[in-house]
Every structure is written in C-alpha cells, then in structure tokens.
Structure 1
C-alpha cells in the first residue's frame, strides 16, 4: 500500500512538472494562438479561384479517394504541376467531408497548426533559445501574409509541402547528431514527400547548407566543406528531376508566359521590385491582396533603386556574417527560397503573391528573433514586450485579413480596392457576382477588366458567357470572336459562338464552330452535345434549347 502511494505521488509530480515545463506551455500557447486567429475560416466558402478547378469541378477529386483517382494523382501534370500528395489529400477530404467547404478549410488549418508546432521544435533542435524559437513560430503562425496559404483551400499544396519541409529539417538535425544511413534515408523520404506536395521546396538542400553554417556550425575551421555539399547530392538530384518535370508541365499547359508578353527586362525589374515589396509587406502587412497584377511599366530608375536596396542589404549581411551569422542564414533563406517564384521564369499573370512567402519569411523571422534581442540586450523586458506586442498586432491584422476570405465577392472586392488596375481581380469578381444573380454588376466588372487589359481571351470569354445568358447575343458573339483572335485555340470561345448562333436559330452557321472546338479538344462533351443539337435543328427546323447555365473559366 505504501509503494502504491509512492507511485501515485511520483506520477503526480511528473504530471505537474510536465504541465509547468516551458516547452509544453509554449506549444499550448502556440496552438491556442493559431486556432484563435484562424478558427473563423471553418465557416467560409470555396472561392472561384482554383478551388472550383482543383476540387468542385475536378472529376478525379470530387469523387473522393479511389484507386483510380490515386493512379491519376501519381501521373497527372494537370494545372501546370506535379503534386500527387496534394491531390490525394484533397480526395481524402472529399471522402470525409464531401464538397462541404468546412472540412476542407479545417484540414488546411490543422496542417498549418502542425507546421507551427514542428517549426518550434525545429529551432529548438537547432539550438535556438526557447523564447526566440517560440517567437519565430508565433510570427509564422499569425503573420498576415500567411492568411492566404491557410484560408485558400487550393493552397493546400503550400501548407502540406511546408510540413514536409520542416520535418525534413527535423530529420536532418537528427542525422547531423547521429550520422547513419537510416537517419539520412529519413531525410530523403521526408523531402520526397515534400516534393510530391509542391515543387517549390526544391531550394531546401541550399537551406540545409545555410543551417550548416548557422546554427549547426558545421562550416568551422578545417571542416570538410566539400563533404557537406557532397552529402546533399541525392537531394540535389531529386530537385533536378522534379524541376524538369515541373517546367515541362508548365510549358505544356501554357502556364509559362512568353517573352513577348513579359520581356526579360520587365521580369528582372519586377523581380527586384518584388523583393523590396516582400520586405515591406513583412514589416507593414496591410493592404494585402489575393492578386497582384504586373504594372504596365516599371521604370529603370525604380528597378535600379530596388536593386540597390537589395545589394546594400546583402552587402551588410556579408560584412557582418562572421559576427552575426544568423543574419547570413536568415537573409539568404529569404532571398534564396523566393528564387523559384520571383517570376523571372514567369508563371501565370501575377507579379508576386502572398502565398509565396509561407516558407521564405521564416528567414526574416530568424533575423528579427535573433537580431532585435541583440540590439536590446541591455533592455531585456523591453525586448520581451516588443515581441509580445508584435505578435498581438500581427494576430489582429490576420483576423482582419482572414475576414476578406469568407467568399469570392468579399475577397475580390477587397482586392480591387487595395490594388490598381487589377484586371485579374475584376474578372473573378465579375464571375462571382454573376453566380449570385447580380448580372448588371458582373457586366460592369468584366468591362472594367478588359478596359484595363483588353488582350485576355479568358476575360472576353467570361464576359461573353454572361452576355449570352442575359440575352445580349450579338455582344456575346463580338467578345467570343475577340477571344478567338487573341487565342485561336480557345475551345470555350468556339463553343460560345456556336451556342449564340443556335439561340439565333442559325444552326448551319453554328456547326463549323462546334466542329472546330472538337478538333482542338476531341473529348469536349459540351461541344458534342451542341453539335448534335445543331444538326438536328438544321434538319428538323425546331428551335434550340437555351444554354444550360453560366460557364466561366
């Protein structure tokens, strides 16, 4: 009986010690902070920007987790990328929650919360003091620029790949402490899972070299630097394979824009300006937008000024690297991990994106967490207070930024209000307004969009579809023809003209357009159905049915 009493007392003491353990408390606070800020997302809708293409209207995803769908995920390069693990995660959500957005949003939030906790343990394992590791993780949790990656269901690839990015580093710290084939195999395995989630993490082997410099200190005098590089060769090989696959997929889908659309000079100037804007958004994260269109022209002086600022920052970091090695690691973590998405190789029509900062900003978090306490080393309480205030301000700004993601109309209305000439946002706003029956406002949004950028076939097709729906057939045909002139392979435009002609009781004139669409896309079922209807109408003389509904790209 006495022994049982002693065991109970010992167990009680251990539980009490666990509850008071600073690491345990920090983890609870980080989880609570993350959930408190982001929990409203559970009631948000899908948005009409990739959520529809990735999940709602994707037959391989919206039918859930099946062997056939998994086989498709492993081999598909649709949507300009290869990320099978991300596809499988979306399929699992559909199997669990159907197409109700709540479950999909909660999955993103849970992965983000896991990322916060793993990141905290990563820096603890790297030897960063507990308070500073907690500050880095807290900033990562609630920085407003990260709202996009969490609140946007289609950005599952960002949060999921980041999870494996962090677990790879965690496995790497284990390997550094105990080099063995088994521990190295775990590093490779985690990295492969990350690459299968999103190819942007190809920069991770370079970041491991940065961590070798600081805080792991493997670049000490007489260290075998060549050996540090050689040990990462398998990781570099994996990066090369996935990079080639990704570029091929993006070229095939047309995601990589031509030099005629964005000349190399403009891309370089935009890259320099974007780096500066990312730093500004890190320091003052407000007026953030889901879309940042390219400026029509960036002056050479603006680009040169941005380049000078980057060069000065880089020069300072190199100058102080020996005394403050965390500045070196943090700055080149930030600048290096942005390289794949800095838009020198232009993908899409945007100039930059908040979602691209999900991993790169960790570098700036390192600089802030390590540098500010050093500057205020004689004012410990002031440094702690400043850190707490920073977290609270970021949390408040994130709550506000999150509120814009509740639905498509709110999101894109905000986007056009905080950016200039954002034709991309006006286009999506028009689609969202139309889907809720606000057709007059939708037409105005589309007209605003192509008045800013008249050379987008997609925008003209969307406007034409709405005009067709609202019985403005002649206007619709005009916009469909404009779309074809801009993009002769746009099947939606050919089908649209055919439908408009059918509605005007001109079946004979409509048939060539449906046939052209089928030449371009032989499996396009809508074109087959309309072609059969046109042939039947041409023979029987009966009137055609109205189009089945609004169809936006």
Structure 2
C-alpha cells in the first residue's frame, strides 16, 4: 500500500510538472509584468518637470504642431538643442495628438515601454545564457527571470521611467535589445535575414538615442560569449555594415552637438585629458557599484571641479582602485560568461564616461546605465546561483530578499520625481552636502 501511494505521488508529480512546464514562461512573464508595475505605478501620478528639461524637450513646436507632413519632415531632418532623436520626438507628438499635454498619458506610455523592455531583457538573457554550456534549461530560466525582475524594479533605473524627458532611453533600449536578439539568432542560424533585422533595429535605436552607436562593439562581446573564432574572416566581414553605420551615426551625433555649440568639435572649454580619464574611472566605479548596491542615488551628480580647477584629492582613488581590481580580476576571473558580462557593461556605458567630451551638467546620470545594467545584474544573479554551499533555498531567500529591498527603495525613490518642487528639495540637500561648496564657505 505504501509503495502504491509513493508511486502514485511520483506519477502525480510528473504529470503536474509536465502540465505546468509549457506554462512556465507565461507565468514568469506575468510576474515580470505585475511586480514592476506594482513597484513603479506611483509614476503614473507624477506631473511634468517644468524646470528640469520637460519645458523644452517635451513642450516645443515639434510636439504641438502634430502629425502634419511638414512637422514630420522637420522632426526627421533637423537637430534640436544639440540632439537628434526623431523617434523620441515622434513619440511625444503622437501622445500629444491623441491626449494633449496630460502628464498621465506620457507617464503611462513610459511605464508600458519599460514593462515591455523587462520582457525583452528576459528573452535576451535566456538567449545569452544558452551559450553557457554547464547550465540546464531550468537554471537558464531561473537566472533570466531574476535578472529581468531586478532590471524591472531597480531604483537605479527609475529615472527614465519617472522622468518624461528621459523616455528616449526606454525607446532606444527596446530597439537595441531587439537588435541584440536578432544578432544572437543570426549566430545560431547564420540566416542573413537576422543580420538585416539587427541592422534595422540598430538604426531605429539610434533614432531615439545616440548612445546606440556602441552597438557594433556589443556584437563582438556576443561573438566572444558564443566562442566564435576571431580569426574567421566572415566574423569581421559581417561587422562592416555595423561599423560603417556606427561611424556615420557617430558623425551625426557630433554634428548635432556642434550645431548647438557643444561637444567634441566645439570651441567650448574642456577638461584636460588626464582629468577625463579620472572621470572615466570614477564613472565606471560608481555605475557598477550603484547597480549592485544603489546607495546615494541623486537626480543630478555635479562635476567635482570647474574646468581649469584641480580635482579633489579623493578622486585619484578611483583610477588606482580600478587598475588594482583589473589586475586582480585578470588573474582570478577565468569564466567566459563573467568576462562577457563585464565587457557588455563597459561597452554600453563607454560613450557616457567622458573619455569623449559630452556636454552634460552631471558627471554621471542614472539613465545612462539602463542597458549596461543587464551585464551587472547577470553577474549578481550568476554568482548567487553558483554558490552551491549555501543551498537552493537560501539562494532563493537571498535573491527574494534583495528584490524586496530594491522594491522598497524604488517605491520611495520614485516620489522624488513627483514634480519640480520635489526635485528642488533634493537639489537643496545636495548643494548643502557638496564638498566643494562647503570648502568655498570655509574659505569665505
């Protein structure tokens, strides 16, 4: 009788597992929609940031002139305030044409695109983990789920969701991940149609945000993870269209900035090169650490010194630590997957860390890490899953606890973006706490 009961339990377990398996992806996708929505839904009540870029990025003639032929031509053929983001501007124009200047619809659209991106990240990570041979299908699914969940609720990624003027990040990311998925399909199938699809999504991604220019370098990180032979001529020939696109689109970006008297070829005063290298090391360090532990998040991070002035001494700490960590990592990190994650992170943040001068008030900005963060989150989840000594239950407890803490912080952080007055409060606190301002007070 006992044997019969045990057998029946095994049969029931197998039947239930077989029944639920086809629904596993759907259930995970549903959770990845519901949880980030619950955490971030407060953004739907936010207003416009009338004193923080919304007043010109959103409120302009390109938006208010609607979907006329003349306006569409202007959107796609003109630079605006040093930027070229026709798809993002078209997005504003469509929402305005349907609903007018009502903040709810702009915030709802932003949240919806972010939720779509969470689903895309889930598929991207599953595709990437498919190249990691020692992982089972179940492990791939679990890790992809947690990476995507963290991506969906992380407080460091709130800015493009809560701030209408940063919507270009969300739109660029959607097309960018689409381009990544097409290229990964190409690696597996060798179908040229996937390569064309990747190039098309790359172009559309740039139409929303110039940061997409880094895509051609991202392709090489995928080749590395997939174990492709870099001596193979085909690998380099297939990159030529992407590299040429990156070159052309990079020139468009430089021209758009120059049109506003800014950027690489402008006559603006610039920081000396040695300081930009220190800024770059600071940015890499801060972006990565804030992905792991989102501490001291702000909506603006001012440069530590004015152009022509010396850096605070503590800034020299960052290149020293970065070089030390690089040397240690080169000896200890042998796993291709973790090396890929680091490369993916660096490549996709490279254009925003001031090695190439960009006209920005902030030395770092939360929104710039939106795509790069995927690499950091894969490292976090991958390391937790690789620690076999703590047991699966404890692994799950750690991950769920991490997600809960991030979610709690996000629900508080998103309130800062309610309106311009709430941002001002944080700015006043920032000014009071800035070392350089305190130094001025002391000197005076």
TM-score of the aligned structures, taking structure 2 as reference length: 0.85
Task: Quote the offset at 1:312 in angstroms.
Answer: 2.8
1:274-308 deviation per Cα after TM superposition (whole angstroms, max 9, x unaligned): 22222332233133111111112664753442112
Distance 1:68 1:204 in 2: 32
Q: Distance in 2 between matches of 1:173 and 1:247?
A: 30
Structure 1 residue 390 displacement after superposition: 1.0
Tell me if structure 1 keeps the 8 A contact 2:175–2:204.
Answer: yes
In structure 2, do the counterparts of structure 1 residues 121 and 25 end up closer, same or farther at CA, with 3 Å as the change threshold? same
Distance 1:286 1:301, change over 3 A: closer
Q: Structure 1, residues 490-545: CA drift from partner, whole Å, max 9, x if none?
A: xxxxxxxxxxxxxxxxxxxxxxxxxxxxxxxxxxxxxxxxxxxxxxxxxxxxxxxx
**Would you say how many aligned residue pairs link Structure 1 and Structure 2?**
407
1:21 and 1:317 mapped to 2: Cα distance? 40
Which of 166, 178, 188 is matched with 1:177 structurally?
188
SS in 1 for 2:58: helix
Write the distance in 2 (CA, Å) between the matches of 1:35 and 1:212: 34
1:300–1:286 distance in 2 versus 1, CA, 3 Å: closer
> Which runs of 5 or more residues in structure 2 are unaligned?
1-14, 131-139
Are 1:228 and 2:228 counterparts?
no
Match among 45, 52, 57 for residue 54 of structure 1: 57
Do the aligned residues in 1 keep the contact of 2:304 with 2:312 (CA within 8 Å)? Answer: no
Aligned to 2:363, the other structure's residue is in SS state: strand
The answer on whether the counterparts of 2:304 and 2:311 sit within 8 Å (CA) in structure 1 is no
Question: Is 1:364 the counterpart of 2:366 in the alignment?
Answer: no
Counterpart of 1:292 (choices 271, 296, 301) is 301
Q: 2:261 touches 2:268 (CA, 8 Å); kept in 1?
A: no
Cα separation, partners in 2 of 1:231 and 1:91, compared to 1, 3 Å = same
Aligned residue runs from structure 1 range 312-351, under 5 A: 312-321=324-333, 323-344=334-355, 345-351=357-363
Query: Whole-Å Cα distance in 2 between the matches of residues 331 and 142 of structure 1?
Result: 21
Q: Deviations over 1:192-234 (max 9, x none)?
A: 11111111011122122112222x2324xxx644432321111
Is 1:37 matched up with 2:39?
Answer: yes
Q: Which has the higher contact order (CA 8 A, sep 6+)?
A: 2
1:132 to 130, 140, 143: 143
CA spacing shift, 1:140–1:94, aligned 2, 3 Å: same
Q: Is the 8 A contact 1:326 1:370 kept in 2?
A: no
- The two structures, once aligned, show a CA RMSD in angstroms of 2.5
2:269 corresponds, among 235, 260, 266, to: 260
Poorly superposed stretches of 4+, deviation over 6 Å: none
| CA–CA separation in structure 2 for the residues paired with 1:284 and 1:238 | 36
Q: What TM-score, normalized to structure 1? A: 0.69
Distance 1:21 1:314 in 2: 43
Q: Tell me which moved more, 390-399 or 125-134.
A: 125-134
The answer on whether the counterparts of 1:289 and 1:419 sit within 8 Å (CA) in structure 2 is no
Query: In the alignment, what sits opposite 1:416?
Result: 428
- Counterparts in 2 of 1:320 and 1:401: CA distance versus 1, 3 Å: same
2:61 is paired with a residue whose SS is coil
User: 1:90: how far off?
Assistant: 0.9
Paired residue for 2:70, among 61, 68, 71?
68
Q: For residue 412 of structure 1, report the CA deviation from its aligned partner.
A: 2.3
Query: In the aligned structure 2, how far is the partner of 1:288 from the partner of 1:130?
Result: 31
Task: Show CA shifts across 1:220-278 (max 9, x none).
Answer: xxx64443232111111111111111111112202327663533333222222222222
Match of 2:169 in 1: 158
* Superimposed CA distance per residue, residues 325-358 of structure 1 (whole angstroms, 9 cap, x where no aligned partner): 1221111222222111112313122211111111
* Conserved? CA contact 2:36–2:152, under 8 Å: yes
Task: Compute the displacement of 1:76 (Å).
Answer: 1.5
CA distance in 2 between counterparts of 1:132 and 1:19 reads 16
Select 2:406's aligned residue among 390, 394, 399: 394
1:198 aligns to what? 209
Q: Are the equivalent residues in 2 in contact too, given 1:291–1:353 (CA < 8 A)?
A: yes
Give the match for residue 274 of structure 1. Answer: 283
More deviation in 226-235 or 189-198?
226-235
Deviation at 1:418, TM superposition (A): 4.0
Q: Is the Cα–Cα contact under 8 Å of residues 165 and 191 in structure 1 kept in the other structure?
A: yes
Return the match for 1:141 from 145, 152, 155: 152
Match of 2:134 in 1: none
Determine the C-alpha separation between the residues in 1 that align with 2:19 and 2:431.
52
Asked whether the equivalents of residues 62 and 71 of structure 2 are also in contact (C-alpha less than 8 Å), the reply is yes
CA distance 1:255–1:360, shift in 2 (3 Å) = same
Structure 1 unaligned spans of 5+: 1-12, 424-447, 453-553
| Contact 2:216–2:242 (CA under 8 A) maintained in structure 1 | yes
Give the equivalent residue in structure 2 for 1:494. Answer: none
| Bigger Rg, which one | 1
Tell me which of 27, 30, 53 is aligned to 2:29: 27
Distance in 1 of aligned mates of 2:358 and 2:180: 29
Q: CA offsets per residue over residues 31-55 of structure 1, 9 Å max, x none? A: 0111111111111111021111022
2:267 and 2:299 map into 1 onto residues whose CA distance is 23
